[in-house]
Amino acid sequence: MWKSFCLAAGIFACILGVELLLIDSALVLPVHGGGGPRTFTAPDWAPWTLLSVGAATVMQFVTLPSRGGSTQPFHGR
């Protein structure tokens, strides 16, 4: 379960990083009408940090062994 959660978090971080690279700012509207809209602008380092952390998390997921499987490669015997 933790392995799949980490994979999902890594993919989410990569997608969010790409989105922040593509947009300059976002207008955040209140849900229940309290207050006015606010503008969100991400710092310059945020997209690259999210992409690198997400990619490292996904690569770690790929290198972890399966829970019930063997660490030895299958040779068809």
- The 10s digit of each residue's pLDDT in 18-31 is 999 999 999 999 98
Quick check: is 15 in a domain? yes
In a domain, 14, yes or no: yes
3-class DSSP state of 3: helix
What range defines the domain where residue 54 resides? 2-25+41-63
pTM here is: 0.73
Q: Is residue 8 part of a domain?
A: yes
Find all residues with CB under 8 Å of 30, minimum gap 6, and list them: 36, 37
How many domains, the chain?
Answer: 1
Residue 41: the pLDDT is 94
